[in-house]
Chains A and B, each alone.
Chain A
Amino acid sequence: MSENTGIDEKTYGELREIADRYPHARSGLLPMLHLVQSAEGSVTPEGIEACAEILGISAAEVSGVATFYTMYKRRTVGDYHVGVCTNTLCAVMGGDQIFAELKDHLGVGNDETTEDGKITLEHVECNAACDFAPVVMVNWEFMDNQTPESAKQLVDDLRSGTEVSSTRGARLCTWREAERVLAGFPDGRADEGPAAGPASLVGLELARENGWKAPEK
């Protein structure tokens, strides 16, 4: 147990647990930083120190990693991280307009958090859901086929505490709860939501209608 890092005992123990999962402890660093975010709300100097101490590397080495990856945040993230895809396909299909209207509606810029601490807005790169464009991610859950109106309704619901479910995932949890799952601590919600969204099934349904299938052995 660390005397110096300012990280609580439970989190420190779990950070060690992550490092122990791997043949070489340092492989645990990315999930460890996810856990730091879950516990601290961002990658804090205390979290960096704790990772460094456990892995026997310098704080500078941990910082070098933390600053490389876009999911790691140096400022406290709100309860809901709202990511609007503005890579080309989503942007053209309406992502640019959704992002512009959300900035206006929430009164924040890119990578900023609303005053009530509820929403952090950010434009994100392609999230591998192009057949559901335009896509908005909330705490890295899919909100498919959005419009400016649906996206504004979405953030209003999140701010007012209305329960919201992903269009093909679970009921939305907080950003810090999501980060804990990414660190490798399941939250028991795998069974929520459908197996696939409608676009994922288009080809399969056509094949069934037409009796198309792979050859028999």
Chain B
Amino acid sequence: MSLTGIVRPYGDTTGDGRVQLSFTLPVPFGDETERARAEGAALQLAAKMGMDPAMVVHAKGMGPDFTFFIVYGRVSHLVDLSAVTVTEREFPVLPAAEVNLRIRSALGRKLVVVGACIGTDAHTVGIDAILNVKGHAGEKGLEYYREIKVVNMGSQVSVADLVARAAAEHADAVLVSQVVTQRDAHLTNTREMSAAFRSGLGSQRPLLVAGGPRFDPAAAHELGVDKIFGRGTTPGEVASYLVHALVSQRDPGGWLPPGKERAGAA
């Protein structure tokens, strides 16, 4: 098969364009008239989605107000493979076993992560979702990873305490969560934190990661951190990023894992 040509969905014959679809409409499915109207409504949606002909193979009332449909049909759309664009992710999301394996083989020790909510922010929901074994969105938190040592300092941690603890723990990465955004507190706090790590630990500073629902993920450089995670981030994404950043070394001007000498002036 060509990867640059034109294709259609495949049911049982090349080019037949057949697909299946299921959905719910907020319409009743009671007496005969209602049933006919409900199926008509489903067919109208299918037609607008480009299915022609379409067939309602299953309709079922769910309570007095809703109907569930399964529809098969032929779509008229063509798929132009040459026009498919793939957004390259900065890093691959890895399963937990792979994260552990890469840390073990590259570092030969546990990867140390120190997490905290800094400033007056008492909302630990974000950092706990990433760090606690309980996790978030069906994924276990970083504590679940055998090769990651997690130090969760909790909320209202001062920047000075965070820097001291990160140094004492020989942290590879520091995760900071900021939920409160009054008067841009999350930005001020994050800048203060990154500056403190730079002045306190210099090139030995750990990887700095900030997260919270109101951050702009593109603002990492401006805030002096290595990475910003926004709303909906899962622990697996964070773990995969840590492996990407700490195990496969990044650009020479940037951060290097603790203990690694900077390469010569190449």
Bind each other: no
**Which residue numbers of B lie inside 8 Å of A, CB to CB?**
none
Residues of A within 8 A of B (CB): none
